[in-house]
Structure 1
Amino acid sequence: MMTSFSVSVAQAAPKYAGVVIDARTGKVLYSEDADSLRYPASLTKMMTLYMVFEALEAGRISLSTKVPVSKNAAAEPPSKLGVGAGRSLTVEQAIQALVTRSANDVATALGEFLGGSEQRFGQMMTAKARNLGMTKTTYRNAHGLPNTAQMTTARDQARLGIALRQHFPQYYGYFSTRSFKFGKQVIGNHNRLLGNVRGVDGIKTGYTRAAGFNLATSAEADGRSIVAVVLGGKSGASRDATMRKLVAAYLPKASGSRGG
């Protein structure tokens, strides 16, 4: 009986973990439980987008390529865009749907499209994580909905944030999308720090009950650049408040040089 009890406690009170890394030098400026395993929740979609940007850069797809939505993808729980099964959307719309609404249906559609199946895409994502030095991360799906095998660490997510910015500067601007129009819907970004905290230019929010409230943030000002990750926040507001403090405290401490 003990085990089921401890599992439910873990779900009710996810533990905090955080890290701030100087994006220019890779130096760790702040760290708390940065290497402890946590659930990524929708931060998973940062890797889904990494795979999309890589396919774009390689010319395998373009922004106007149509992504079909399967019955499996259309059936994902919210948050979702609500594209019906058998319909499609462009790669660019899919990117915007992931960045703003964190749409699970669209994430699965992208995974199936790029990987052939969600399972295969999870393997591709995990292989890419290893490639990027994310040694403790395992992906099983493209969206981050609960899967006990899908684990990561704050440090690994920060590494991914830095890789997104450094490897795909031409697509990185999508992370600061404030809103986008899809049919009759106008969809705002879940990231409350965008436009409210100086220097913040994206990346991604996440929440599941087991993960708590997660946020990966990239900030750049005065020639300094950091990526910060907060996992296991108690609420969206407290997570955002923690991140505001981290950005305020550590962005001025980042190196001003272009090295690294």
Structure 2
Amino acid sequence: MALALTAMLSAPAFANSKYSGIVVDVKSGRTLYSYKADTARYPASLTKIMTLYVLFEELEAGRMSLQTPLKVSKHAASRPPSKLGLKPGSTIAVKDAIMALVTKSANDVAVVVAENVGGSVPAFAQRMTRTARQIGMKRTTFHNPSGLPDNRQKTTARDMALLGRAIQERFPKYYKYFNTRVYTYKGRRYGNHNRLLGRVKGVDGIKTGYIRASGFNLVTSVNTGGRHIVAVVMGGRTGASRNAQMKKLISQYLPKATRGNRTAPMLVARAETPASTPKVTPKPLAYAELRNVPVPGLKPQEQLMRVAALAQPTTAIPVAAPAAPVAVAAARGTESASDIVTGSIAPVPQKPDLKAILRRKALQVAAADLAPQPVAAPRSPGVRSVRTQTIRVAALGDEVVAAALPDPEPATPDLPDAPANASVTVAANNAADPMPGWQVQIAAAESEHAAVSMLKKAQGALGSKLRGYDPYTEPVDSGGATLYRARFVGFETKTAAWNACRDLKQKRFNCYAVYQ
């Protein structure tokens, strides 16, 4: 009764019909807090915890090492963001795959893991679901390894707490990767989406998740002062409100956790060895081998045949055919609406090649609500200014279809240059991704120098109205060319972003707001 009363008092403060949560004392196994913990929810990128659990099984069994190259298929490379942008036919090492899933929550990498471990996404999803049952996750079914929208992919807060406990108990050696705050891959640095790391004492992982259907999810492990809890928050309205609720749960229930010896049983997934497979002597801790994985020593084709023959579980679990590519509009509901990669401040400005600018093709971008207002590009002494103007808008993401045109006799005066002392803190190439939230984009330029210049002009034009919002450049690939988005980030609400965009339009800057 006391537990129910506590849940009732806590829930209205969160005020969200999608919300569910749970706090479990790891040492005793007691549930310290529970609100709709057994109600079906969409896991979103919390799915990747199980993807990593299965990959860790491969490492533990010796079928893979941290250096094993995983081949990237065309299907994997085509997954929508958040992603690393892997190319078909390339490879990524297992360790890099782990780090990309933990920090960037890369959907392309999740599919790479599924195809290399399970032979196909459906077979891997079957194994994920079967493993979930073995852990004790009775209300969880997986149909893909990434958490991208699928109405059949369901879980509960209680099941996610079980998984959060099981993965660190079974794989303490590999669980430490969940504590990674920044990961570098091919010269680019990716920040962990779990912003509680390093900010809340005792937090050592583990994973965030977001799609529109689920809201903002988070599984957190806190181990400090002799106490250890795993807490789950699902269905947050925003990343900030989700994190605030998690901090509240940690503050309220960590002191109630056991400080003594562990009394709860270990959570270990054990699979039955099929009669057709020779039994092996159990390893220490009696971890049994799963039966639908490639066997060492077999040729690739033989492995695939064996996987196909053994893929059906003892209890049949419906598996759908591979899903069609997800539309970009739906993809924008993923945890990170696009593949954010921080850019660096440009080197010494070079005189622009006007002819090259005039020859460039129209660039595709996404902003169905962007008004076709001209934006002045940065000028260099002795060179005519070039004006970027919207010529068409298409729902292809969060870019603008634009073409560069020579500036005719201006109908309105150009914007003044930013004051020489205007400070622009553009994310360097060794910085982490910005915090999730509302952003305002003012341009997509061909060079980072141009993007930085536009941000400085916007700061100079609006002054204190942009105080507290960080200028940010982001390189993106568009039809084989690299563009640089010029954005202001750090808006906590949609209204704040819209107000800033309104002020920018009054100063004749094109802009639109997007949740990133």
Instruction: Provide TM-score, normalisation by structure 1.
Output: 0.94
State the secondary structure of the residue aligned to 1:29.
strand
Q: Which residue number corresponds to residue 72 of structure 2? A: 69
Choose which of 156, 160, 163 in structure 2 pairs with 1:160.
Answer: 163
Structure 2 counterpart of 1:16, which letter? Y
State the secondary structure of the residue aligned to 2:255.
coil
| 1:221 has 2:220 as partner | no
CA displacement, residues 223-260 of structure 1 (integer Å, 9 cap, x when unaligned): 11000000000000000000001111111111011222
Give the 5 Å matches for 1:102-121: 102-121=105-124
Report deviation, 1:149: 0.4
Conserved? CA contact 1:101–1:188, under 8 Å: yes
Name the CA distance, whole Å, in 2 between partners of 1:158 and 1:136: 12
Q: Which residue number corresponds to residue 100 of structure 2? A: 97
Can you give the 5+ residue segments of structure 2 that lack an aligned partner in the other structure? 1-15, 265-516
Name the CA distance, whole Å, in 2 between partners of 1:229 and 1:74: 31
Name the CA distance, whole Å, in 1 between partners of 2:234 and 2:244: 13
Q: Which residue number corresponds to residue 473 of structure 2? A: none
Name the CA distance, whole Å, in 2 between partners of 1:85 and 1:250: 47
Q: Which residue number corresponds to residue 61 of structure 2? A: 58
Q: Which residue number corresponds to residue 39 of structure 2? A: 36
State the secondary structure of the residue aligned to 1:228.
strand
Can you give the 5+ residue segments of structure 1 that lack an aligned partner in the other structure? 1-12
Name the CA distance, whole Å, in 2 between partners of 1:16 and 1:25: 25
Instruction: Give the number of aligned pairs.
Output: 248
CA displacement, residues 110-167 of structure 1 (integer Å, 9 cap, x when unaligned): 0111110000000000000000000000000000000000000000000000001111
Name the CA distance, whole Å, in 2 between partners of 1:179 and 1:254: 30
Choose which of 179, 184, 195 in structure 2 pairs with 1:181.
Answer: 184
Choose which of 119, 127, 136 in structure 1 pairs with 2:130.
Answer: 127
Conserved? CA contact 1:14–1:212, under 8 Å: no
Conserved? CA contact 1:14–1:211, under 8 Å: no
Name the CA distance, whole Å, in 1 between partners of 2:83 and 2:23: 30
State the secondary structure of the residue aligned to 2:141.
coil
Name the CA distance, whole Å, in 1 between partners of 2:65 and 2:29: 31
Q: Which residue number corresponds to residue 3 of structure 1? A: none
Q: Which residue number corresponds to residue 5 of structure 1? A: none
CA displacement, residues 182-206 of structure 1 (integer Å, 9 cap, x when unaligned): 0021111011100000000010000
Q: Which residue number corresponds to residue 198 of structure 1? A: 201
Q: Which residue number corresponds to residue 514 of structure 2? A: none
Q: Which residue number corresponds to residue 137 of structure 1? A: 140
CA displacement, residues 24-72 of structure 1 (integer Å, 9 cap, x when unaligned): 1211000000000000000000000000111111111000000111000
Q: Which residue number corresponds to residue 172 of structure 1? A: 175
Q: Superposition RMSD on alpha carbons, in Å?
A: 0.8
Give the 5 Å matches for 1:224-243: 224-243=227-246
State the secondary structure of the residue aligned to 2:256.
coil
Q: Which residue number corresponds to residue 251 of structure 2? A: 248
Name the CA distance, whole Å, in 2 between partners of 1:193 and 1:83: 28
Structure 1 counterpart of 2:86, which letter? V
1:29 to 1:234, Cα distance in 2 relative to 1, 3 A: same
After TM superposition, the runs of 4+ consecutive aligned structure 1 residues lying more than 6 A away are none
Structure 2 counterpart of 1:30, which letter? Y
Structure 2 counterpart of 1:126, which letter? T
Name the CA distance, whole Å, in 2 between partners of 1:81 and 1:249: 37
Report deviation, 1:14: 5.8
Highest Rg: 1 or 2? 2
State the secondary structure of the residue aligned to 1:92.
helix
* Aligned-residue identity in percent: 57
Instruction: Provide TM-score, normalisation by structure 2.
Output: 0.48
Name the CA distance, whole Å, in 1 between partners of 2:96 and 2:235: 29
| 1:87 has 2:87 as partner | no
Name the CA distance, whole Å, in 1 between partners of 2:57 and 2:248: 33
Name the CA distance, whole Å, in 2 between partners of 1:172 and 1:14: 32
Structure 2 counterpart of 1:101, which letter? K
Name the CA distance, whole Å, in 1 between partners of 2:187 and 2:123: 34
Conserved? CA contact 1:14–1:210, under 8 Å: no
Name the CA distance, whole Å, in 2 between partners of 1:25 and 1:86: 48
Report deviation, 1:180: 1.1
